[in-house]
Amino acid sequence: MKKLLTTSVALSVLIVSAPALAEGTVTSVTAVDGEVISTECTNLRRTDRAACMRLKTQSDGLKKGIAKRYIQRNKGVLKQVRYNRRSDDKDDKLTLKEQRMKNLEERKANRLKTFQSHQSRIDQKKEWQKELQEKRLTQLRDRIKALTPSNVMTREEFRTRARKLDANTQSRRETVKRIHEECRSQRGAERIECMRKKTEDQLD
């Protein structure tokens, strides 16, 4: 069955290429290990080229297997031909190896750029949190220094002051929540900058 299929394919290629052979348009040949094989099949598609080479191998009286050896030996050239055929840029042709190296370098550059951007946002957030913590500690120290033993307060004054501080603390919490809600729609560095600016404007 396989032999019959091969014979039918060879006959079909022979019928298609018979006019060209009759007109004598095929003139170029290539030497492979001292043997000669016609190169009229070079510009054909893969399946047609294989059938054409089998037909030429039999019709020219060459040894069986020369077409297969030719394909194996010129595999890189055939890949380059297919790549050039698919390429959109006809002026600047790269080899397959050069194209693979170019794609690899582009992927490395993109990964490095993404990592650096992510690390920069993390460092910026840590710096902002550190500045905010130092500012709160400074305010707490100033508040403690204001409560010296010389300032004797009655129980009512102390309760009034405690309520006032508690109200201020609750107000700060609500302000912080509101700032988070206002900056929720933004992402990354823009969100950090938005929270920093609104915190300085509303909590100072």
Ranges of each domain in the chain: 2-92, 94-149, 153-204
pLDDT score for 13: 44
Spans of the chain, pLDDT less than 50: 1-5, 9-11, 13-37, 91
Q: What is the 3-state secondary structure (H, E, C) of the chain?
A: CHHHHHHHHHHHHHHHHHHHHHHCCCCCEEEECCEEEECCCCCCCHHHHHHHHHHHHHHCCCCCCHHHHHHHHCHHHHHHHHHHHHCCCCCCCCCHHHHHHHHHHHHHHHHHHHHHHHHHHHHHHHHHHHHHHHHHHHHHHHHHHHCCCCCCCCHHHHHHHHHHHHHHHHHHHHHHHHHHHHCCCCCHHHHHHHHHHHHHHHHC
pLDDT score for 144: 78
pLDDT score for 151: 59
Q: What predicted TM-score, i.e. pTM, was given to this entire model?
A: 0.26
pLDDT score for 99: 76
Predicted confidence (pLDDT) per residue in 150-165, tens digit: 556 677 887 888 888 8
Predicted confidence (pLDDT) per residue in 78-110, tens digit: 776 766 666 555 545 667 777 788 888 888 888
